[in-house]
Structures are given as structure tokens and as C-alpha cells.
Amino acid sequence: MTGSNWTGRCPRTLTEALGCTGHAIEVYRTPPIRRFFYACIRHGWLVVAAVLAVLVLTGCDEIDSQERGAAAYRDALAQAQKDRPELWTAEHKKRADVAVGIVAKGDQ
């Protein structure tokens, strides 16, 4: 067998071996909804980092919100006292003012 050429007996390419070009008949495309969820899973940490950054950088302004809440309660109380003045004695007004302070502290 020395000196003989075996390339004529064996197929050298896929086309010769199988009789096809070697390309897939159809390319599978992942459905768009599944691609969306894959992207959310892959890049979800970016969203979490962005939300945490916004929360940390904006901070929480509890004192200001407490003052605004107390002012809103006092306005409502003043309106109620204006609507029915006969129901409000000096003692009732003091108690209502204390109650507004307590509610404003607990309404954070």
C-alpha cells in the first residue's frame, strides 16, 4: 500500500460524505418573551443597584415629613374648630394639640 493514494476512496468533505451542505435547515430563535426574561435575569442586578443608589443618595427626610404631617393635622383641626366652635373648649383645644403631636410622630 505504500505509494498509493487513498484520498479517492474516502470522502474529503461533509458534502461528499453526507450529500448535504452542512447548514442547518432552520435556525431556532428564542421567543421574544423568553429573551426578555433572560435579559432581566442577566441584568437585574443593575436595576437593584440603581434603586439602592437612589434610596441612599436621596436619603429620608423624616423631620421635614413629620413637620408637614403635623401642619396638615393642625390645619384639619383648625378647620374643625372653625366649623363647630361651640364644641371646642380651651381644654379640648389643648388636648387636640397634644394629640396632633402624638399622631404626627407616629405617622411616619
Which pTM value belongs to this model?
Answer: 0.37
- Domain match, 75 and 97 both: yes
Taking only the tens place, the pLDDT of each residue in 32-51 is 999 999 988 888 888 889 98
Do 37 and 79 sit in the same domain of this protein? no
In total, how many domains does the chain have?
2
103 within domain boundaries? yes
pLDDT (tens digit per residue) in 54-93: 888 887 666 667 777 778 888 888 888 888 888 888 888 8
Do 103 and 71 sit in the same domain of this protein? yes
Same domain, 41 and 81: no
Domain hosting residue 34, numbered range: 30-59
- Domain identity same for 51 and 66: no
- pLDDT tens figures, 11-40: 666 666 666 665 656 678 889 999 999 988
Helices then strands (H, E): number in the chain?
4, 0
Whole-number Å distance between alpha carbons of 106 and 104: 5
